[in-house]
Amino acid sequence: MHIYKMLCLNRFREYKRLINNMLLPVLSLAFIAGFIGYQMIVLFSPVLLRVKNFNIRAWYGLISILAIYSGYCCFIKIKPVITVKPASIFFLSESRLNRLVHIKFMGEFLKHFILAFFLAVCINGIKFDRMFCLTIISVFGLLNAGCLLRWKVYHRGKRIWQDAGVWSLLCFPAMLLNICPYVAILTAGVWFWTAWYDLFVLKLNIVKYEDEMQFAEKVLVAQNYNNTVLLTQYAKEKKVRYLSKREKVSKLLLRAPLVWKARISIYRLSKDFIIAGIVLFAFGLSIYKIPFFWSMPFLAQKEIRYFLLIGSIFVVFQLTLQSMVRQLDSILEKAQDGLFIPVPQKQIIKQFAAIPVMIIGGESLVLAFIMQSNIFHLLVGCVLSMLITILVFWLDVKYKGLLSKVHFVLSVAIFIITLVISG
C-alpha cells in the first residue's frame, strides 16, 4: 500500500508543477470550458426535461458514433488505455503491476458509468424505469467493453476475426434495444467476458508497453518544464512511431505505390488549415443554431446567419482540397527537378487522388448529416464533391497553367456543392 501512496504523491507533484509552469493557459482553458459548459447546460437542460419516452433516432445516432469511435480505437489507432510510470514497470513485479493496472481500471469503470448515466438521461429522459436501466447497461457495456477490448488488442496484437467478432457482439445488438430490450443482457455478457479476460488472463506485453510509457514520460517532462523545442521534436517522433509497420509488402503497395505515398503525405500534412476550417464551420453552425448569437444586431436576420454558415462550409472544402493538392504539387516539382516516376500520368492521377476523394466524400457526408439534408441532396453533394476533386487533380497533373485560370469557376462549383449539401 505504501508503494501506491508514493505513486499517487508523485503524480500529484507532477500535475502541480505542470500547472505552475502553464498557469495562464490552464486558466484560459478552464474559463473557456466553464463558459461552454454553462451554455450547454442552458441550452440542453430544457430539452432533457421535455424527454419523456425512449428517443429512437438519438439512440441510433449515439450507438453509431460510439461504434465508429470504438472500432477506430481498437483496430486503427491502437494506444494503451492505462498509463503507468516507467519506473513502476521496472521496479514492480508482474503481479504488483497487474494489481496497479486493475486499480486504474476501476477509475475507467467509474468514468464510463457516469458517462453512460448522462447519455441514458439524454436518450430516455429523467425516468428511472426498466428501459432506463437497460439503456445504461448497453451504453456502459459498449463504452467499457470497447476500452477493455482496446487493451487486449494492444497487448496481444491484432487477431482480426476474433476481435472483430467481439466488437460486433457489442455494437450490433445495441441497435435492437428498442425492438428487443433484453439484448442488453448480451452486451453485459460480452462486458463480463472482456473484463474477466483482461483482469485475470491477459499477459501484458511488457517490452512494448514500457517503451510506450517511456516516450509518454519524456513528453510529460517536457510539458512540465515548458520545453517547446523538445515538444516539437517529440511531436515529429510521434508521427513516425504510430506509422503502421509491416513485415510483408502488400499487393496494393506493389500495384499502386502512389496510393501509399499519398497516404503518408497526407498523414504528415500540417493539419492547421483543416483544423481552422473545422473551427470556422463549428462557429458558423453555432451562430446559425444557438439563439444566444441572434441577439447581436448584425446577426438578427436569418439570411445573414445562413450565409455565414454556407461560407464556413465552403471554407472547409476549399482548405481541405488545397492542402491535398499541395502534396501532389510537391511530387510534380520533384519530377521536374529530375526525379523519375515510373508511373504513367493517368496512374498518377488515379493513385494520388484515391485517398483525397475518399476524404472529401466522407467530409461531404458528415457535413450533410450535420445539416440534416435529405438523401437526394446528400448523394448528389457527395458525388459532385468527389468529381470536383478528381477534376482538380487531373488539371493539376495535365494542365497546370489552366488550373489557375479556371480556379474561379471551380470555386463557384464548390460553392454550388455547398448549397446542395446544406439542403
Contact 152, 163 (CB under 8 A): yes
Stretch 44-67: mean pLDDT, rounded? Answer: 75
CA distance 284 to 54: 31
Three cell numbers, residue 27: 486558466
Question: Which pTM value belongs to this model?
Answer: 0.59
Cell 516507467, located at residue = 86
Which H or E run includes 82? Answer: none
Confidence tier at 292 by pLDDT (50, 70, 90)? low
- Give me the numbers of helices (H) and strands (E) for the chain, helices first please: 18, 0
CA distance 117 to 110: 11
The b/e string for 251-267 (b: 16+ C-beta within 10 A; e otherwise) is eeeeebbbbebbeebee
For 203, phi then psi, to 5°, come to: -95, 125
Model confidence over 236-258: pLDDT tens digits? 777 666 655 544 555 555 566 66
Of 7, 136, 145, 138, whose CA–CA distance to 83 is shortest?
A: 7
C-alpha dihedral, 192 to 195 to 196 to 198, nearest 10°: 150
pLDDT of residue 289: 73
pLDDT at 180 > cutoff 60:
yes
What DSSP designation does 199 have? I
CA distance 290 to 44: 11
Of 151, 167, 159, 166, whose CA–CA distance to 199 is shortest?
A: 151
Confidence tier at 259 by pLDDT (50, 70, 90)? low
Three cell numbers, residue 371: 445539416
Confidence tier at 111 by pLDDT (50, 70, 90)? very high
Confidence tier at 51 by pLDDT (50, 70, 90)? low
pLDDT of residue 92: 80
- When the pLDDT of each residue in the chain is averaged and rounded to a whole number, the result is 77
Three cell numbers, residue 120: 441514458
pLDDT of residue 125: 74
CA distance 65 to 12: 34
Model confidence over 81-100: pLDDT tens digits? 888 888 778 878 888 888 88
CA distance 172 to 68: 12
Contact 213, 205 (CB under 8 A): no
* Torsion sign, CA atoms 312, 315, 317, 320: negative
Of 149, 120, 144, 148, whose CA–CA distance to 133 is shortest?
A: 120
Confidence tier at 110 by pLDDT (50, 70, 90)? very high
